[in-house]
A = this chain, B = another copy of it.
Amino acid sequence: MTQQMPPLKKYAINGVDINALTKTINAIKCEPALSAFQFRARNTWLGGGLNHSTIQGFFGAGQEQARPASFTFKADEPPVLLGDDRGANPVEFVLHALAACLTTSIAYHAAARGIEIGSISSELEGDLDLRGFLGLADDVRKGYHHVRVKMHVASNAPADQLANLAKFSPVSDIVSNSLPVEIVVETH
């Protein structure tokens, strides 16, 4: 898979437009209501462990934000979990979300502080005991019980400063800390 760097932006550090970032921060400081965002997804079951999600519009910066096209993602389970491996499985998508968010958080917050980053790569592992999902042991949690992230960053900044920037990650917060999830099921 060939990946291209986005075109260079004027006044950019780490590919982040510093003028735009400063404008965003100042706008939210003046009008905190602009900071309310709502992201959305729709999902449809396709049988067994296979389903797919569609992600398009969201609300943010005081208005509905349309996108010209939607993003779609399949999820499935591997054969050992009774699926056909037509997509990564849901807990693997959590690791992608976490890796992506930690990376972006370091790149953006470093940019805001004038710290140049040459490269970022990471490896993630999530440990899960299937007895939780299967309902075979009440004292075993259903999701990951531990997640480890190893990040490699090319930068002159000290590692502990970069680790502190990673702590701004929304997905890291979502995974690390409890969050109210309201689930309503309707039948027809």
Contact = CB atoms under 8 A, between A and B. Distances in A.
Number of copies: 2
A181 B188 contact: no
Interface residues of A, number: 144
B100 A90 contact: yes
Contact of A90 (B86, B104, B121): B104
Interface string A31-43: 0101111111111
Interface of A: 1, 3-6, 9, 12, 14-17, 20-21, 24-25, 28-29, 32, 34-53, 55, 58, 60-61, 65, 67, 71-75, 77-78, 80-82, 84-109, 117, 119-137, 140-155, 157-160, 162-163, 166, 168-188
